[in-house]
Amino acid sequence: MSASTSVSRKYFGTDGIRGRVGQHPITPDFWLRLGWATGRVFASKGRAHVVIGKDTRISGYMLESVLESGLAAAGANVSLLGPMPTPAVAYLTRTLRADAGIVISASHNPYYDNGIKFFDGDGNKLPDSVELEIEAELDKTMSCVESDQLGKAQRLPDARGRYIEFCKATVSRGFSLRGLRVAIDCANGATYHVAPRVFEELGADVIPVGVSPDGVNINDQCGSTYPAALIETVREYRADLGIAFDGDGDRVIMVDHNGETIDGDDLIYIIARHRQAAGSLQGGVVGTVMTNFGLEKQLQAHNIPFCRANVGDRYVLEQLRSRDWQIGGEASGHVLCLDLTTTGDAIVAALQVLVAVVETGSSLAELCSGVEKMPQTMINVKVADPSSVADNAAVREAVTDVETQLAGRGRVLIRASGTEPVVRVMVEGEDGAEVADFARQLAHVVETDAAGGPVDALAARR
């Protein structure tokens, strides 16, 4: 059983703050104070400049306005980007020489959730120490600077164009996608007005999907968490491949010409192997405790070092930097290429995969054919206090029993989600039926012994 180790925080999870709109802490009054607290922290050395982007959720309008007011009350100037992918906010924060960047998004969650992520002036996720400073300010009584010290806000009209040019610049000037028919599913999210343009301007014949956001259809039966729509489009239009992003554009999965899903583990393998063949792979690959053992085994077969981090791209990032490596990520589609950008960028990662496709003349299916995935079952169990499960005696005993029966032929992972009130129960092994049965057994223990009674369990299997 694995548990993440991090500084104890009151509001911040593994990736900012997230929850149901209208329920604390995703409420206008809290976000007003959050903006003020953030402004106070970053204005400690003078007037701060903060960049704000958002995805396409209807609640983004409300939360953006109160966040802006709180920042202005603390004396911070604000640049408003409108709907922009999370990695675009990181990039623009850095190039605008801002002190901090903020993304209003709940990523792959439904429209009725929302959240907030922060970047420092270099486009990196905020360290725990700064998040703790913001939380400390939140406990203080809110005040307002003098009128002549209030912050100002302005829209940045060319934000989209700046980011499109950045994405194109991550591949060589001579690189072209001419002759490729590509279906692109933007999840009715933040990439809807960016991603199609990037691939079109590089020469691809683009078939757009999920590019009509209405405030409530983000991630709804589309995007990286629901590839069925993309699979259908690839087959209908006989596309060479499909690309699916999540609502805020930091996750990507692909679909090959046969309609088979290519997840984050496969994409990482393709990028790493192509760079190794080109002599440009620096170090090895960082995955997470959820990374399929099949990827680890295949990387080792090609003498590519591999290590695991806790779940969350911030932890993958920490491992990459400590080892001076460049490539890492998660099966969910967070893929980091640190030689190109500071955070997980779905468009940039997709382009790196397409570089391998174009330069080798191979299909997606051929490029990842060497990775044989172990059967893996994951069940999400709704629990009032997910963090308490790690210390539950009955759960620990059940895990030990399953690990004994697996006898080295698989592994077990039980962890609290950092973004939802659920415990993720994962079992991986050689026998798919056995793995599924063990996962159900463990989920039942979590439901009845740790959760205090039966609750809904949502299963996801690979």
Q: Write out the two tokens for 113.
A: 């959730």
Amino acid in the structure at residue 383: V
State CA 263 to chain mean position distance.
13
Q: Pick from 282, 280, 451, 296: which is nearest to 380 by CA?
A: 451
Burial 50-68 (b: 16+ CB within 10 A, else e): bbbbbbbbebbebbbbbbb
Q: Can you spell out the DSSP letters for 116-127?
A: EEEEETTSPBPP
Question: DSSP class of residue 449?
Answer: I
H/E element, 363: none
First to last CA, the chain: 20
SS3 437: helix
Q: Do 299 and 291 form a contact (C-beta atoms < 8 A)?
A: no
What does the angle CA 253 – CA 258 – CA 259 come to, to the nearest 5 degrees? 45
Q: Do 80 and 159 form a contact (C-beta atoms < 8 A)?
A: no
List 69, 105, 107, 224, catalytic entry = 107
Q: Write out the two tokens for 194.
A: 């960016």
| CA atoms within a 13 Å half-sphere pointing along the CA-CB vector of 337 | 26
Q: Can you spell out the DSSP letters for 9-41?
A: -SS-BTTBEEEETTSTTSSHHHHHHHHHHHHHH
The length of the chain is: 462
State CA 89 to chain mean position distance.
14
> In the annotation, is 107 catalytic?
yes
Q: Can you spell out the DSSP letters for 162-190?
A: HHHHHHHTTS-TT---TT-EEEEE-TTST
Amino acid in the structure at residue 242: G
- Torsion over CA: 321, 323, 329, 330 (sign): negative
Q: Write out the two tokens for 355.
A: 């570089």
Any idea which residues carry the catalytic annotation? 107
